[in-house]
Amino acid sequence: AGYEYYARTKERFAKAGLQIYGFGNWDVHNQDKIVLGLPGRDEKIAAYIDHLRALGKAGIPYTTYAHMANGIWSTQREPTRGGASARAYDQDAATVGHWHGRDYALPLTHGRTYEAAELWENYQYFIRQAAPVAEEEGVRIGIHPDDPPQPELGGIP
């Protein structure tokens, strides 16, 4: 997705009396290349910056970023308040995470154990490039928590 899509969608919603405040983009969100400093990281960061610029140009003030390297983990759906169905997570039953057509399997989703300091360094590398562009474009970035919130999963803190 880019500026044309965001602008067109924003206009279509406006005709129905609705305002779009945020757009996410799976192609630049939750990327192991950024989180783990893997080859292709700079290209993914450039794509995220393009996403920020497109949102700013379209007048959409919010997006998200998840600094997660091995997908979203859940086990089964369970009923919640009002009979709604929601994803659940059972640590003893979870063996695979999923994101954007990829599977991440235990025990090590990326072949080794990473240290928290590595992830923080990679986050700083990313956010020091993305934040100035977001500020320039008037776009706020919400940082999404891990799914599920675990101290370590598949060798990733």
pTM value? 0.91
Can you tell me the distance from the alpha carbon of 47 to that of 35, in angstroms, rounded to the nearest whole number?
Answer: 15
Q: Which of 38, 47, 53 is nearest to 4 (CA)?
A: 53
Q: Which of 95, 94, 44, 33 is nearest to 69 (CA)?
A: 33
Q: What's the pLDDT tens digit per position in 25-59?
A: 988 988 999 999 999 999 999 999 999 999 999 99
pLDDT value at residue 110 = 96
Residue 63: give the domain boundaries: 3-71+113-144
In a domain, 102, yes or no: no
Work out the end-to-end distance of the chain between its first and last CA atoms, rounded to an integer number of angstroms. 30
Q: What's the pLDDT tens digit per position in 105-137?
A: 999 999 999 999 999 999 999 999 999 999 999
The CATH number of the domain where 51 resides is what?
3.20.20.150
In a domain, 107, yes or no: no
Total domain count for the chain?
Answer: 1
In a domain, 89, yes or no: no
Contacts of 3 (CB under 8 A, 6+ apart): 53, 54, 57, 58
pLDDT value at residue 29 = 87
Calculate the CA 97 to chain-centre distance: 14
Asked whether the predicted pLDDT for residue 1 surpasses 90, the reply is no
Q: What's the pLDDT tens digit per position in 52-109?
A: 999 999 999 999 999 999 989 988 899 999 999 999 999 899 999 998 889 999 999 9
Can you tell me the distance from the alpha carbon of 15 to that of 146, in angstroms, rounded to the nearest whole number?
Answer: 36
In a domain, 53, yes or no: yes
Q: What's the pLDDT tens digit per position in 2-25?
A: 999 999 999 999 999 999 999 999
